[in-house]
């Protein structure tokens, strides 16, 4: 059921029928996600369109190949973009001086590089062994050690602490060994 090429080609040629199909298939779940996470209808529309344009930039400029379904890839891109927007507004409030608003094209380009880096980290986590992945996913979601112990049936939080330490070191090593890690400076 890999329909990705169909949708990508439809977007490349601005095929009205295909674009409407994308809206019908994917927009309702993106809308629901944004509304459930402090957003409005207008934000959902904005995120949805930006995500599609960014995906097309990645496909056409960076020759990125989408390995999952178009629907799933678009939904993840929208989720990340909305998370970015929410954090962007937090940063602007927190800073003593509001950060200079970048022009839209520049901001979109930065956002693409950030999405790329996010995918790089997720790719590394997927490569780690099953047990480590399970425990680290919970650790990074800030689940307390005792809750991880309970959910994964470890004898106590000390065992969890030691496992987290070992797994985290393994993951760190894998990330650092990849050249992509040093390619971008984070803020």
Partner 1 sequence: MILSDNLLLQADKYLVNKLTEPELSAFLLELNSNAKLADYVAINKEMSIQFSDTDWQFIETTDANQTKDLQTYFKSDKAIALKSALNDAAKKHKTISESSKANNSRVFSFLAIAASVILLVGLFFLNRTSDIYDSYNSWTELPSMIERGEAKSAILENAEIKFVAKDFAGANKLYTTYLTETKSNNTNVFLYLGITQLELNQNKNALATFDKVIDSDSIDFSKGYWYKALVYLKVKDNSNAIAQLKLITKDNSNYKYNEALKLLSQLE
* Shortest separation between residue 84's beta carbon and partner 1, angstroms: 5
The C-alpha atoms of residue 92 and residue 101 are separated, in whole angstroms, by 10
Q: Which is nearer to partner 1, 43 or 69 (CB)?
A: 69
Residue from 90, 67, 85, 104 nearest 30 by CA: 85
Q: Which is nearer to partner 1, 42 or 96 (CB)?
A: 42
* Shortest separation between residue 98's beta carbon and partner 1, angstroms: 15
| Length, in residues, of the chain | 187
The C-alpha atoms of residue 139 and residue 135 are separated, in whole angstroms, by 6
Report residue 118 as tokens: 């996010």
* Shortest separation between residue 83's beta carbon and partner 1, angstroms: 5
Q: Which is nearer to partner 1, 65 or 142 (CB)?
A: 142
Q: Which is nearer to partner 1, 34 or 73 (CB)?
A: 73
* Shortest separation between residue 147's beta carbon and partner 1, angstroms: 9
Q: Which residues contact 104 (CB under 8 A, 6 or more apart)?
A: none
């Amino acid at each position: 059921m890999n329909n990705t090429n169909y949708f990508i080609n439809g977007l490349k040629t601005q095929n009205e029928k295909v674009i409407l199909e994308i809206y019908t298939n994917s927009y309702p779940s993106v809308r629901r996600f944004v509304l459930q996470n402090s957003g409005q209808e207008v934000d959902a529309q904005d995120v949805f369109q930006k995500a599609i344009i960014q995906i097309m930039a990645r496909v056409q400029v960076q020759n990125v190949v989408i390995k999952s379904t178009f629907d799933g890839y678009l939904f993840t891109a929208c989720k990340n973009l909305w998370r970015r927007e929410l954090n962007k507004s937090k940063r602007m409030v927190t800073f003593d001086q509001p950060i200079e608003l970048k022009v839209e094209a520049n901001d979109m380009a930065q956002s693409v590089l950030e999405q790329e880096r996010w995918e790089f980290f997720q790719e590394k986590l997927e490569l780690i062994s099953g047990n480590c992945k399970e425990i680290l996913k919970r650790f990074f979601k800030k689940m307390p050690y005792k809750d991880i112990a309970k959910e994964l049936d470890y004898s106590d939080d000390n065992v969890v602490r030691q496992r987290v330490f070992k797994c985290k070191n393994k993951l760190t090593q894998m990330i650092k060994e990849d050249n992509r890690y040093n390619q971008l400076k984070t803020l």
